[in-house]
Amino acid sequence: MFNDIRKLLFQLLGMKDISEKIKPFDSPYHVIGYNKELLEFIFNKTNLKIKFMRNFGRKFEFLSHTTSQRGFWIGLFLLPIEFIGNILNRDVYYEAYISKEI
């Protein structure tokens, strides 16, 4: 959900050529945008068995900034979007514990 909103904002701001999914300078330096179905497909194709998977977000990120910092206001603006994403089970991150099937 969060990435869908960012994509819409990029389009509205005339920056549609900028990808909302590539984060080369944002730790942990990865390409984002995988959903549960795609992760399950990838794990099945590589003979990996999912032991545990969860979907979670980063609510209250604005609290890690002071009110004078830009990150505070951006995080506060995005908070409702993250709550809606949580309700719809479309949060920002997936965590998976997997094992190799032999």
18 or 76: which leads in pLDDT? 76
Residue 68: predicted pLDDT: 92
- Mean pLDDT, range 1-28, rounded to an integer: 64
- Contact residues for 95 (Cβ-Cβ < 8 A; gap 6+): 52, 53, 54, 56
pLDDT tens digits, one per residue of 80-92:
887 887 788 776 6
Q: Six-digit token pair at 50? A: 């999912």
pLDDT tens digits, one per residue of 17-66:
665 555 555 555 455 667 788 888 888 998 889 999 887 766 677 788 89
Look at residues 28, 2, 26, 21 and name the one whose alpha carbon lies nearest to residue 92.
2
